[in-house]
Amino acid sequence: MTTSTKTREETQGKGNMPQSYSNYIGGRWVKPKGGETFASYNPANQSEIIGHFALSTPEDVKAAVDAAQAAFDAWKHTPAPARADIILKAGYILETRKEEIARTMVREMGKVIKEARGDVQEAIDMAKYIAGEGRRMFGHTVPSELPNKFAMAIRAPLGVIGVITPWNFPVAIPSWKIFPALVSGNTVVFKPATDTPMCAMMFVECLIEAGLPHGVLNFVTGSGSKVGMPLVEDPRVRCISVTGSTEVGRKINGRCGELMKRSSCELGGKNAICVMEDADMDLVIEGAVWGGFGTAGQRCTAASRVIVHKARYKEFLDKFVARVKALKIGDGMDPTVEVGPVVNKDQVKSVHEYVEIGKKEGAKLVCGGNILDQGEYANGCYHEPTVFADVKPTMRIAQEEIFGPVVSVIPVESFEEALEVANGTEYGLSLSMYTQDVNRAFKAIEELESGIVYINAPTIGAEIQLPFGGIKQTGNGHREAGITAIEQFTEWKSIYIDYSGRLQKAQIDTHKAE
Ligand code: NAP
Ligand code: MG
């Protein structure tokens, strides 16, 4: 194995040539055993290569798990406040590198610059929030049913955690998993999405610079099958924390089930904004545009459906379409651009396939619908922001996650029908209700079947101090962030201390026969 203790900058190429980056295993930058690499491209201009990254193999994964396993004991015995100090410091380093990382993010996956800054900010917020956990890590103390006996439950780390992340929040999502895993005393092997290894590496660098001991965080780039699955299969990896599509999550969760290991899955969504007859329409329009076309629709919480009461349907459609037609599309580095490219050519193709499906299903295409590949868009991965009207709730475009700039507008006759349509998909991540009626707002909170509910705001825009995640096919019952952040990364240990000096039998000595 070729190893280097140099920083990754020193392993870079020369001049304007794209540079090569290694894995980070056991505190060293290490080339993959097979020596192969893959390129990360700029989706706004595919002739720009962001860098070459390790195309790792199962052997590299094994080395990373070896390192994480070896580092576990010392890290577990490092007091939680000391672990938290390193995370807080990483947050401050992220803060100083915010602009640099945000600009890299725009180049690597295409979101517009102000959203990229928000992505990094979310990781900074998470660092600050979770660092406090180092001095909480709350357990329970409860009374014992017997005299001279003490009962409590404390948290213990699991061991090595496998972290598998998507490309759409290439810094925020790793932070949601890695910071809580580390503060809880676990060590980590991190496999980022193939589309965004550079952003992931910069995130890792912040933790290294903050003084994380060798082996506590290991970084291995490569494919889902050659890196992700071996991580799932390794018996020393005690939990897989994955965010991605429901298809991939199902595969991982199924295998983890067989192996009796924990998996925490944050998966797809088919989110909806409901617009009632009393809604503030200007607010709705801004929200629906931001929710539907922010990050070019590539958010797990994207508002890909807008369910509108018939009394306001035409008004909504006219205003919405006018606003969508005026959206400025282009390279997200231009601060006036509102919608960037989608992440890669495959994504353009799969988004466009859904446009064709929508047309065949008989939905009314009222805006967009085309791939953009001429002129300034020629080298990029662009798809026009697209709106379908008169969509039936059962159509595939209203049921399946498209993960691109396509919004389906669905007319309904009543509040009750809006709730039924909103709830009528296999997903349950984020649902929103626009109404001025407080009774309806609370009824919607009660009835909407999703992990996140918004009132008078679109489906996107979570804050890290509340739990994040979904129900139904969106997840398997875990939540990230908020007070739930450390749940997936800790085991409960229940402790009884009997200081009576004699054998006391619970349930028996407490209920002696008369
Ligand atoms: P994806 O294709 O499911 O991939 C997610 C991650 O899993 C990537 O790192 C991927 O590696 C890896 N992977 C793929 N196949 C694997 C396998 N067989 N075993 C182990 N790992 C495997 O998702 P994506 O396209 O990156 O992201 C978009 C999806 O993420 C959407 O469905 C979106 O809704 C979802 N998402 C959900 C949330 C949430 O919190 N609920 C948040 C954001 C995104 P490669 O990159 O190498 O393929
Ligand atoms: Mg890319």
Local confidence band at 6 (pLDDT 50, 70, 90 cut-offs): low
Tell me, what's the pLDDT at 514? 58
Q: Residue 282: how many CB atoms within 10 A of its CB?
A: 9
* Residue 18 resides in a domain: no
* Atom number in ligand 1 closest to CA 248: 3
* Residue 69 resides in a domain: yes
Give per-residue pLDDT as tens, 472-498.
999 999 999 999 999 999 999 999 999
Local confidence band at 200 (pLDDT 50, 70, 90 cut-offs): very high
Residues 6+ apart with CB under 8 A from 84: 130, 131, 132, 133, 134, 135, 183
Tell me, what's the pLDDT at 511? 83
Are residues 378 and 263 part of one domain?
A: no
* Residue 343 resides in a domain: yes
Are residues 168 and 39 part of one domain?
A: yes
Are residues 337 and 259 part of one domain?
A: no
Are residues 176 and 72 part of one domain?
A: yes
Are residues 198 and 78 part of one domain?
A: yes
Q: Is the pLDDT of residue 5 over 50?
A: no
At residue 331, φ and ψ (nearest 5 deg) are: -70, 125
Ligand 1 contacts CB of residue 245 (under 6 A): yes
* Atom number in ligand 1 closest to CA 343: 25
Ligand 1 contacts CB of residue 167 (under 6 A): yes
Are residues 242 and 364 part of one domain?
A: no
Give per-residue pLDDT as tens, 312-333.
999 999 999 999 999 999 999 9
What's the rounded Cα separation, in Å, for the pair 37 and 2? 14
CATH code at position 420: 3.40.309.10
What's the rounded Cα separation, in Å, for the pair 353 and 348? 9
Give per-residue pLDDT as tens, 47-79.
999 999 999 999 999 999 999 999 999 999 999
Q: Is the pLDDT of residue 1 over 50?
A: no
Are residues 246 and 277 part of one domain?
A: no
β-strands 149-157, 490-498 pairing: antiparallel
* Residue 103 resides in a domain: yes
* Residue 255 resides in a domain: yes
* Residue 5 resides in a domain: no
Q: Is the pLDDT of residue 512 over 60?
A: yes
Catalogue the active-site residues: 266, 300
Tell me, what's the pLDDT at 4? 47
Are residues 427 and 291 part of one domain?
A: yes
Local confidence band at 18 (pLDDT 50, 70, 90 cut-offs): confident
Average pLDDT over residues 173-191: 98
Local confidence band at 15 (pLDDT 50, 70, 90 cut-offs): low
Local confidence band at 295 (pLDDT 50, 70, 90 cut-offs): very high
Ligand 1 atom 22: residue of nearest CA: 224
Ligand 1 atom 42: residue of nearest CA: 300
Q: Is the pLDDT of residue 459 over 70?
A: yes
Ligand 1 contacts CB of residue 430 (under 6 A): no
Ligand 1 atom 30: residue of nearest CA: 244
Are residues 135 and 213 part of one domain?
A: yes
CATH code at position 81: 3.40.605.10
Kindly give the distance from the C-alpha atom of residue 108 to the centroid of ligand 2, in angstroms, as a whole number. Answer: 4
Note the ligand closest to the C-alpha atom of 232: 1
Ligand 1 contacts CB of residue 122 (under 6 A): no
Ligand 1 atom 40: residue of nearest CA: 266
Are residues 59 and 113 part of one domain?
A: yes
Local confidence band at 438 (pLDDT 50, 70, 90 cut-offs): very high
Note the ligand closest to the C-alpha atom of 343: 2
What would the 3-class secondary structure string for 302-360 be?
A: CCCEEEEEHHHHHHHHHHHHHHHHCCCECCCCCCCCCECCCCCHHHHHHHHHHHHHHHH
| Residues comprising the chain, all counted | 514
DSSP 468: B
What's the rounded Cα separation, in Å, for the pair 27 and 23? 10
Kindly give the distance from the C-alpha atom of residue 168 to the centroid of ligand 1, in angstroms, as a whole number. Answer: 9
Tell me, what's the pLDDT at 2? 43
How many domains does the chain fold into?
2
| Domain around 293 | 272-455
Best of 248, 347, 426 to mutate for ligand 1, by most ligand atoms within 8 A of CB?
Answer: 248
Higher-confidence residue: 10 or 137? Answer: 137
* Atom number in ligand 1 closest to CA 269: 34
Share of residues in the chain with pLDDT > 70 (%): 96
Average pLDDT over residues 15-22: 82
Average pLDDT over residues 384-389: 98
Ligand 1 contacts CB of residue 392 (under 6 A): no
Local confidence band at 502 (pLDDT 50, 70, 90 cut-offs): very high
Q: Is the pLDDT of residue 14 over 80?
A: no
Are residues 187 and 77 part of one domain?
A: yes
Kindly give the distance from the C-alpha atom of residue 67 to the centroid of ligand 2, in angstroms, as a whole number. Answer: 29
What's the rounded Cα separation, in Å, for the pair 200 and 95? 15
Q: Which of 10-14, 190-194, 401-405 has the lowest mean pLDDT?
A: 10-14
What is the chain's mean pLDDT, rounded? 96
Write down the residue that tokens 């920083």 correspond to: 7
Ligand 1 contacts CB of residue 302 (under 6 A): no
Are residues 125 and 43 part of one domain?
A: yes
Structure tokens at 331: 């390279």
Give per-residue pLDDT as tens, 256-267.
999 999 999 999
Tell me, what's the pLDDT at 8? 62
* Atom number in ligand 1 closest to CA 403: 31
What's the rounded Cα separation, in Å, for the pair 213 and 448? 45
Ligand 1 contacts CB of residue 252 (under 6 A): yes
Ligand 1 atom 31: residue of nearest CA: 245
Ligand 1 contacts CB of residue 193 (under 6 A): yes
Ligand 1 contacts CB of residue 300 (under 6 A): yes
β-strands 140-142, 149-157 pairing: antiparallel
* Residue 87 resides in a domain: yes
Note the ligand closest to the C-alpha atom of 344: 2
Local confidence band at 3 (pLDDT 50, 70, 90 cut-offs): very low
* Residue 435 resides in a domain: yes
